[in-house]
Structure 1
Amino acid sequence: MTDNPAAEIRADKDGRRTTAPALVADKGEGGLVLTLSGDWLARTIGSIEKTVADTGESDLGKSVTIDLGSVGRVDTAGALLVEKMSRKLSDGGRSVEMSGVREKDGALFEAVRAAIDRVRPEPEVAKRNRVVAALDGIGRSVYGLYDEVVVGLNIIGSSIYGAGRRVTGKTQVRLPAIITQMDRMGVRAVPIIALMSFLIGAVIAQ
């Protein structure tokens, strides 16, 4: 719940120093005071996100004050993190108050609150006519059946054509070719069939 005091991270291009965000809990007269310091920016809050999350889940009493008077710079990501912590603490029935918010940062926090509270409309689902939907399903089924019939007729036609050529003597039955195909589709297929049978059996047995 308590983080180390702010420490320097690096200097920006304009020469300004960026300090790590920090959160310190102290007992005040009216309850617990969470003092925030450092720069609460998108590139710095990663080091304190877990601390903030743990603080939001902690039992800190009935009254909590979040003091932002020592905060350096804050952007949308930092304001969002602080606001989420405040709301998490409020969900436990506590009285949560923010103090020390600078005037230039007040508008940012208000915008973040408005964005969180904004009710986003549910996406509209296009309504389809039942008759049209039924006809669409029938059409798709018939189209799929057509493809299957074409493939089936192609196989049957090829078989009849090949058998006719054998009967009329235009082609000869080549025993070596038959044995080769039996070897490829029979003997060599045993390992993969055995593996598939084992895996299917293992799944069914679970």
Structure 2
Amino acid sequence: MLINRSRETSRPADGRPSVEQAEEDGRLKLRLAGRWTTRNIAHVDEEMADISGKAGNRQVALDLSKIERMDTAGAWLIDRFVQQAKENGAEVAVEGQTQPMDVLLAAIRDAAATQRPETPARPNIVLRFLEGIGRAVFAAGHDFLAAMNILGATIRGGQMKIGRGHGVNLAAIFNQIDRMGVGAIPVILLMSTIVGAIVAQQGAYQLRYFGADIFVVDLVGILVLRELGVLMTAIMIAGRSGSAITAEIGSMKMREEIDALTVIGLNPIGVLVFPRLVALVIALPCLTILANFAAIGGAIGITWTYSDIAPAAFIDRLRSAIDVGTFAAGLIKAPFMAMIIGIIASVEGMKVGGSAESLGLHVTASVVKSIFVVVILDGMFAIFFAQIGF
């Protein structure tokens, strides 16, 4: 028995695609006709989607024998109908297709399968947390190896030419000292003076309750010379010079200038990194000395106006409160902090990719990592000095 419930009984004269629906032997039969091409399939797109949604849990047969022409767009529409009908529980069979149609439908089906990969189940929060730790440890190990490569090349010497002796470019070193050291003097002096004044004011305010205003000199002298002077200077250099090193090397990496140095036989570490590291190792201790004097000067000014401690009394008390070891404890840290800042900045610069976004991310990472490691190193030195009684 054939019950015809056709929506379109005649084929349009202009070749537009059409869909004829019929009930045949208990199954829904769709006879497709016309030109199923990119230009025309918009006429049946909505209708095919509507039929696939209403197919339900039944058998559906697609008869392609009356299709005049079909391209990839028409094949994609038919494949989409088949997939949606199957998702709704229908059994779909394709009939009457020619051999070229069969090849095109198979190609569309294979392409759709590759473009719809199964989304893996997202692991729970514990596994994601452990995965994050593992990735961080792996990245830290990679950065450590890169840092040791730069440190080893620096200790070995300038090595301007790859595998052909050493060379130290004094002009480049003095230029970097001028930029990183001399150029940083104003901001270091200003910052250290303010910090020394704040420490002195807060210390005097608290010690006043005990009638021990004079001991603010001990507080400022020991705290500035052993810890704050070198630590604040290193933090300022990490933000000022460390970011500049990363930006300079990173921009050269983006423009492939580092690859050009390697091609002409020059060692990028010897040409770019070595002068900057040497300049930092020289400049940071000198800036630390200036920072110490500036902080003491700021403390003298505050104690004179706030606690009526004359400069002569301040200096006399300072001479009895500190010794050479107090002064040396801060300076010993400076070269190590300079090496850490320069190495981390250089490693992050070498990791820059080919985009401005990458440059910004690595400059930020350089400053954050440098400050973090510098603070950790300062704490380790403090523990070590306390253990040996220095």
Q: In the superposition, relative to structure 1, how do residues 34 and 136 fare at CA in structure 2: closer, same or farther (>3 Å)?
A: same
The share of aligned pairs that are identical, in percent, is 23
Write the letter of the residue equivalent to 1:28.
Answer: E
Give the CA deviation at 1:8.
Answer: 2.3
What is the alpha-carbon distance in structure 2 between the residues aligned to residue 139 and residue 60 of structure 1? 60
What is the alpha-carbon distance in structure 1 between the residues aligned to residue 110 and residue 362 of structure 2? 47
- Indicate the SS of the match to 1:117: helix
Mapped pair 1:54 → 2:59: no
What is the alpha-carbon distance in structure 1 between the residues aligned to residue 18 and residue 362 of structure 2? 64
What is the alpha-carbon distance in structure 1 between the residues aligned to residue 91 and residue 25 of structure 2? 14
Write the letter of the residue equivalent to 1:76.
Answer: T
Write the letter of the residue equivalent to 2:34.
Answer: G
Matches within 5 A, 1:32-71: 32-71=28-67
Write the letter of the residue equivalent to 1:57.
Answer: G
Matches within 5 A, 1:17-166: 19-119=15-115, 129=139, 132=348, 136-137=363-364, 139=366
Q: Does the 8 Å contact 2:57/2:91 carry over to 1? A: no
Higher relative contact order (CA 8 A, sep 6+): 2
Give the CA deviation at 1:139.
Answer: 4.5
Write the letter of the residue equivalent to 2:43.
Answer: S
Unpaired runs of 5+ residues, structure 2, are 120-134, 144-347, 352-360, 369-390
Output the aligned Cα RMSD. Answer: 3.1
Write the letter of the residue equivalent to 1:137.
Answer: T
What is the alpha-carbon distance in structure 2 between the residues aligned to residue 62 and residue 36 of structure 1? 19
What is the alpha-carbon distance in structure 2 between the residues aligned to residue 135 and residue 112 of structure 1? 43
Structure 2 partner of 1:8: 13
What is the alpha-carbon distance in structure 1 between the residues aligned to residue 116 and residue 59 of structure 2? 31
Q: In the superposition, relative to structure 1, how do residues 40 and 3 fare at CA in structure 2: closer, same or farther (>3 Å)?
A: farther
Between Structure 1 and Structure 2, the one with more helix by share is: 2
Q: In the superposition, relative to structure 1, how do residues 32 and 140 fare at CA in structure 2: closer, same or farther (>3 Å)?
A: same
Larger radius of gyration: 2
What is the alpha-carbon distance in structure 2 between the residues aligned to residue 56 and residue 68 of structure 1? 16
What is the alpha-carbon distance in structure 2 between the residues aligned to residue 54 and residue 135 of structure 1? 52
Between Structure 1 and Structure 2, the one with more strand by share is: 1
Unpaired runs of 5+ residues, structure 1, are 10-18, 142-206
What is the alpha-carbon distance in structure 2 between the residues aligned to residue 26 and residue 113 of structure 1? 26
Q: In the superposition, relative to structure 1, how do residues 40 and 98 fare at CA in structure 2: closer, same or farther (>3 Å)?
A: same
> TM-score, normalization: structure 1?
0.54
> TM-score, normalization: structure 2?
0.30
Give the CA deviation at 1:110.
Answer: 0.6
What is the alpha-carbon distance in structure 2 between the residues aligned to residue 45 and residue 57 of structure 1? 18
Q: In the superposition, relative to structure 1, how do residues 27 and 60 fare at CA in structure 2: closer, same or farther (>3 Å)?
A: farther
- Indicate the SS of the match to 1:86: helix
- Indicate the SS of the match to 2:22: strand
What is the alpha-carbon distance in structure 1 between the residues aligned to residue 86 and residue 92 of structure 2? 6
What is the alpha-carbon distance in structure 2 between the residues aligned to residue 137 and residue 7 of structure 1? 65
How many residues are paired up? Answer: 129
What is the alpha-carbon distance in structure 1 between the residues aligned to residue 84 and residue 90 of structure 2? 10
- Indicate the SS of the match to 1:8: coil
